[in-house]
Amino acid sequence: MKYLPFENTNIPARRSLSEIQAMLEETGFTETGQININGQNTIVAGYKGATFRFEVYKQNIIDTLIKNLGERTKIQIRNKTPQGISKMIDIDKQAMKIGWRLIYLQVKALCDSIKLGVITPAQAFAGYLVTGQNETLADRLTESIETGKLKSNSILSPLLIEE
């Protein structure tokens, strides 16, 4: 088994969520709140009329945690034995703790950079901007980047704001 960052964190997800909200408010975000989208806590925040969304992509973390398990435990999970079900419940909870703690650290670094004047909130959090299709800007661009289909001139042109 290889070491995974924050694999054994005991910091509750709700604490990380609250700390993220407080940091955003300290750097000028307004109307911050936690909402439930598809059974998962999400932070939504406003900044100068724009809406930003912060969420954990839990399944990616769950898949990584399962990959790191011993073969016997993987079989129990696959066969949905009582031990496997119990382990999946633990993994699900831990994935949320890990995900929100990692987002907390990312937001903290960005908020510290904002406070130092290195970047603006808009620069720091552009990827979290909610687009007209109710997805984040990062979500919208990720597939094109990951598949190598990003053609900066064709994809970004509609996103440019004309004066």
* 83-104 pLDDT, tens digit each: 999 999 999 999 999 999 999 9
Show the tokens assigned to 49. 């009329």
Q: How far is CA 31 from the centre of its chain?
A: 19
pLDDT exceeds 60 at position 21: yes
**Confidence class for position 31, pLDDT limits 50, 70, 90:** confident
Give the pLDDT confidence score for residue 95 in this predicted structure: 93
pTM higher than 0.85, yes or no?
no
**Confidence class for position 117, pLDDT limits 50, 70, 90:** very high
For 36-59, how does the pLDDT look when each residue is reduced to its tens digit (9 = 90+)? 887 778 899 999 999 999 999 889
Between residues 10 and 157, the one the model is more confident about:
10
Helix, strand, coil shares of the chain, percent, nearest 5, are 55, 15, 30
CA–CA distance, 5 with 152 (Å, rounded to integer): 33
List all residues 6 or more positions away from 109 whose beta carbon is below 8 Å from its beta carbon. Answer: none
Show the tokens assigned to 162. 């004309």
**Confidence class for position 156, pLDDT limits 50, 70, 90:** low
